[in-house]
């Protein structure tokens, strides 16, 4: 076994752990900026994982996907979000409905739930249960972030984490979708983030805040 294969195998074996930790930290972060940076870190872990898979399976498509993840999710989207959050000039807090410690406990519970749920599935299909659990936990935590954070920007981060989870789920169960579909999803995501950025600006210009819970007063 060569050094490359060895490193690839170890990356695959340990990346789930790093994903769990980023999920926990995103849930307990106090400022939007740290959430965005942690999201970039999470995507970097996923990139490493795809590269490892690519080198184990000798697939060129996977390398292309890894490059796209690196460009879009690790660099472009966090950069755009950081710019938006710098130019919004609202408070840097995530303004969550739960305290950081409560969020950490809830995220921990979601991780455990994910682990318990995927066990039979992983056993039947002989898949890596840790990776499956990490993907499911990311889907759940993304949803949790979206319902518990009042800032419009954090809803974007929540959705991105959720999307990461779905992407990872596809990666572990089917070893990645066809390249064309992946590309489509990435462009979708990029356009979506840009639209959302513009949308958040419009919310702030019209209402002078980005608090989603206060949009409820708009009812006629």
Partner 1 sequence: MTLGIDVIQVLLLIVIAPLLRGMIGRVKARIQNRRGASVFRPYADLWKLFRKEDLVPLTASFLFRLCPIVLFAATLAAAAFVPVLHASSLLGNTGDFILLVYMLALARFFLVLGAMDGGSSFGGMGASREALVSTLAEAPLLLAMIAIAIVSHSASIASMVHWTAVRDPFQLSPVHAFALVALAMVTIAETGRVPVDNPVTHLELTMIHEAMVLEYSGPSLALIEWANSIKLTLMFTLLIGLFAPWGIAASLSFFGLGIAVATFALKIAILIVALAALESGVAKLRMYLVPQYLGIACAISVLAVVFTVFAR
Rounded Cα distance between 219 and 209, Å, is: 17
89: left (phi over 0), alpha (psi -120 to 50) or beta: left
Q: Is 103 helix (H, G, I), strand (E, B) or coil?
A: helix
Per-residue tokens: 120: 């039979």
Q: Is 120 in the site for partner 1 (CB under 8 A)?
A: no
Q: Is 44 in the site for partner 1 (CB under 8 A)?
A: no
- Among 59, 105, 185, 192, contact with partner 1 (rule: CB under 8 A): 105
Q: Is 140 in the site for partner 1 (CB under 8 A)?
A: no
CB of 125 to partner 1, least distance (A): 18
Q: Is 218 helix (H, G, I), strand (E, B) or coil?
A: helix
Class of residue 83 by CB neighbours under 10 A (exposed 0-12, middle 13-18, buried 19+): exposed
- Among 41, 111, 157, 196, contact with partner 1 (rule: CB under 8 A): 111
Q: Is 145 in the site for partner 1 (CB under 8 A)?
A: no
User: CA angle, corner 53, sides to 47 and 58, nearest 5?
Assistant: 120
Q: Considering the complex, state which of residue 17 and residue 86 has its C-beta at the smaller distance from partner 1.
A: 17
CB of 188 to partner 1, least distance (A): 32
Task: Please report, as ranges, the residues that interact with partner 1 according to CB under 8 A.
Answer: 10, 13-14, 16-18, 20-21, 24, 28, 99-102, 104-105, 107-108, 111-112, 115, 129-130
């Amino acid at each position: 076994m060569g050094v490359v294969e060895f490193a690839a195998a170890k990356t695959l074996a340990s990346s789930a752990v790093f994903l769990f930790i980023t999920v926990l930290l995103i849930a307990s972060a106090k400022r939007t900026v740290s959430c965005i940076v942690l999201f970039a870190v999470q995507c970097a872990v996923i990139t490493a994982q795809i590269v490892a898979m690519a080198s184990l399976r000798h697939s060129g498509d996977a390398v292309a996907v890894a490059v796209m993840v690196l460009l879009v999710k690790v660099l472009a989207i966090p950069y755009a979000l950081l710019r938006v959050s710098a130019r919004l000039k609202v408070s840097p807090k995530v303004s969550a409905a739960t305290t950081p410690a409560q969020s950490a406990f809830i995220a921990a519970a979601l991780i455990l739930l994910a682990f318990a749920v995927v066990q039979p599935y992983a056993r039947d299909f002989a898949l890596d249960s840790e990776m499956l659990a990490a993907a499911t936990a990311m889907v759940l935590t993304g949803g949790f972030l979206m319902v518990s954070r009042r800032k419009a920007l954090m809803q974007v981060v929540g959705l991105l984490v959720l999307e990461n989870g779905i992407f990872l789920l596809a990666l572990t169960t089917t070893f990645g979708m066809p390249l064309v579909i992946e590309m489509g999803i990435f462009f979708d995501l990029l356009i979506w983030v840009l639209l959302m950025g513009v949308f958040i600006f419009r919310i702030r210009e019209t209402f002078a805040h980005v608090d989603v819970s206060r949009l409820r007063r708009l009812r006629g």
